[in-house]
Amino acid sequence: MSRSLNFHCQSDRSSEMPAVFSPSSFTTQIDEGKEKRNLESKPKSSLVFCPSVSHLEEVGMFSRILVAVDRSELSQGVFQKAVQLAKAMQAEMMILHVLSQEEPGAPEPPMILGVDYSSTISAELWQSYREQCAIFEQNQMDYLRSLVEKAAEQGVRAEYRLNYGNPGRVICDLARSWKADLIVVGRRGHSGLSELFLGSVSNYVLHRAPCSVLTIQGEALKKAASAKEETTTASAS
């Protein structure tokens, strides 16, 4: 396990389908039902939308899958999709969470009237802040361990990393050092492809990843869960 937490102290149908990205060609291909069109893309990349994870077998086999997670509802679905894929392909899985001061629940540095006065804040306040950081980090590690256990229960060998920094950069760096051949990330876009191309973490990863990338749309997961719930309700009645 890699630990590099460094909080600020005194003393980083396309909109409803998963997408597979492989750095191999000059265009981005969007599958919109019967119509296919090519979009110019700055990186040498290929983006293929798949109606389900099972269709990834048509794209290629993977042996080392890196999945980026947080504590959101979307991320739980992304994790489960990654486990399903790893199990189907008998792949190893790396579970990564990138700590950031911007994420929900992260401790905030001591501030006075909204301004950082590091030199005037008491040692007691800084000590309290450090303790909060340690607790927060431990909670995230416990969560990652629980995901490793869930993967193991489904027959998937997994490990985890808890790093701090810019999420997109950390994801790409770990994919490179761990020699991943597939990265799995979620995206929360609510307007088609806008999030993919406008500065999101998934966009950063798509343009800089050293390997193939699977992006899973949050709305697709919600609809799938809703459909499953309706089916279960109908069966019960």
Does the pTM of the predicted model rise above 0.85? no
Contact 139, 103 (CB under 8 A): no
> Which amino acid would we find at residue 206?
L
Please state which of the ranges 12-26, 108-122, 126-140 shows the lowest mean pLDDT. Answer: 12-26
- DSSP code per residue over 98-122: EE-TTSTTPPPPP-BTTB--TTTS-
CATH homologous superfamily of 14-236? HUPs (3.40.50.620)
% of residues, the chain, pLDDT over 90: 37
Q: What ranges make up the beta strands (E) of 121-175?
A: 158-164
11 confidence band (pLDDT: 50, 70, 90):
very low
236 confidence band (pLDDT: 50, 70, 90):
low
Q: Which of 40-44, 48-52, 168-172 has the highest mean pLDDT?
A: 168-172
